């Protein structure tokens, strides 16, 4: 997708993108693997198996994927914004492109819900088609980030993005689970917040992850222009992550009821959980960077899955919850489910490899034969 360049300051030095992009792909792949285990254990493990300590750990890790995906949405938008700043693209064009991509994700979210409804034999409430799930939140967050925090005058909007993060985190536990007036259309208010099963990922507090990801992404991109600075930045990222986790644990040890929540669902929307999970994801970011640097040029399952995360999401949900695996639902112990998890991850890796080898290669070649030559830039 090409954008017309506008007037801007001279571009900075070109980026050195290899390790940075690899680290982000690795993180997205980690989110994919944790997403598969979260859904598979939830659907396939028996009630007795869900009382074990091993299952508790799957729930603990299950809190990572949605937050990590949304964090990486902001990071990816920062990468795009930085590239467009180098090319001198006008802010209006940058916003239009990001909003259009967000709308595409929203369309895919509704298409996915319709597919699930059809595969279930059109059984169940029609309201399931309008449930706000992670794809809906990703699309809506992209639109919000573009409109609110896209670069202005050639500069990233750090303060605006951090203020938006504070707003969505601060009001998350208030607006997130709120009841809205019945005369308002629930398919729309569910984007702001509301009750499950209609609103699983309302913008309060979930959009905060995309905004803080934008700030982190700008920092990572600008650090990637110098290898030494990049390494120090990722090291600092991990250190900040550990500090955030430690601070939350200390506060909770000092007084577990600093903020009283009515239930566990609302607590997951509060600032304590946000900062603890942000710290954990920043630690994962340092680990991903270190591994991609150590294994530079080698095949990585995580990076491969990360490059096809949407496709894997699209397929694995039905394999975990759909009719195809109905005989396994709530019937396996943890050992049997773990075998299933390994097999499912291997199957998704094969699907991912097939996509990049055949489908992506075909798409790259096809436009080259059909599209007319690009006009000379002015």
pLDDT for residue 99: 98
pLDDT given for residue 296 in this prediction: 84
Q: How confident is the model at residue 265 (pLDDT cuts 50, 70, 90)?
A: confident
3-state SS, residue 218: helix
Alpha carbon distance 69, 157 (integer Å)? 21
pLDDT of 256 over the 90 cut: no
pLDDT for res 260 = 84
Distance between CA atoms of 324 and 332, rounded to whole angstroms? 16
Instruction: Please state whether 124 falls in left (phi above 0), alpha (psi between -120 and 50) or beta.
Output: left
**Which CA distances in Å does 165 have to 258, 267, 276?**
21, 17, 15
Q: What is the pLDDT of residues 174-204, one digit of tens each?
A: 999 999 998 999 999 999 999 888 999 999 9
Going by C-alpha positions, the residue among 362, 346, 358 that lies closest to residue 305 is 346
- Alpha-carbon distance of 354 to 341, in angstroms, equals 20
Split at pLDDT 50, 70, 90, the class of 119 is: confident
Please provide the DSSP assignment of 282-351 as one string: HHHHHHHHHHHHHTTTS--HHHHHHHTHHHHHHHHHHHHHSGGGGGGTTTB-HHHHHHHHHHHHHHHHHH
Q: Among 174-178, 339-343, 365-369, where is mean pLDDT lowest? A: 365-369
Token pair 């819900």: residue: 113
């Amino acid at each position: 997708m090409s954008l017309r360049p506008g007037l801007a300051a001279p571009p900075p030095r070109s980026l050195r993108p290899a390790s940075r992009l690899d680290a982000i792909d690795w993180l997205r792949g980690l989110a994919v693997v944790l997403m598969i285990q979260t859904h598979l254990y939830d659907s396939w493990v028996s009630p007795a198996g869900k009382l074990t300590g091993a299952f508790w750990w799957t729930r603990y890790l299950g809190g990572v994927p949605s937050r990590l995906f949304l964090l990486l949405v902001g990071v990816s938008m920062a990468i795009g914004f930085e590239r467009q700043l180098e090319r001198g693209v006008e802010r209006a064009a940058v916003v239009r492109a990001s909003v259009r991509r967000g709308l595409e994700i929203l369309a895919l979210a509704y298409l996915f819900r319709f597919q699930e409804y059809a595969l279930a034999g059109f059984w169940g409430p029609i309201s399931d088609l309008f449930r706000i799930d992670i794809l809906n939140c990703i699309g809506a967050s992209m639109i919000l980030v573009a409109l609110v925090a896209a670069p202005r005058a050639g500069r990233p909007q750090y303060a605006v993005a951090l203020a938006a993060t504070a707003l969505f985190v601060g009001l998350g536990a208030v607006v997130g689970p709120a009841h809205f007036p019945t005369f308002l259309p629930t398919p729309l208010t569910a984007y702001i917040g509301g009750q499950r099963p209609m609103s699983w990922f309302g913008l309060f507090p979930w959009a905060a992850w995309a905004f803080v990801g934008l700030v982190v992404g700008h920092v990572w991109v600008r650090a990637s222009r110098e290898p030494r600075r990049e390494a120090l930045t990722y090291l600092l990222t991990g250190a900040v992550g550990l500090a955030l986790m430690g601070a939350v644990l200390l506060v909770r040890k000092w007084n577990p009821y600093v903020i009283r929540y009515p239930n566990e669902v609302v607590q997951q929307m509060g600032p304590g959980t946000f900062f603890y999970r942000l710290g954990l994801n920043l630690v994962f970011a340092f680990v991903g960077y270190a591994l991609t640097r150590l294994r530079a040029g080698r095949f990585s399952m995580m990076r491969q899955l990360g490059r096809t995360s949407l496709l894997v999401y699209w397929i694995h949900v039905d394999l975990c919850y759909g009719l195809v695996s109905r005989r396994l639902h709530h019937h396996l112990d943890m050992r049997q489910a773990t075998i299933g998890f390994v097999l499912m991850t291997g199957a998704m890796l094969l699907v991912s490899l097939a996509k990049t080898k055949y489908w992506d290669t075909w798409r790259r070649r096809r436009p080259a034969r059909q599209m007319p030559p690009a006009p000379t830039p002015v």
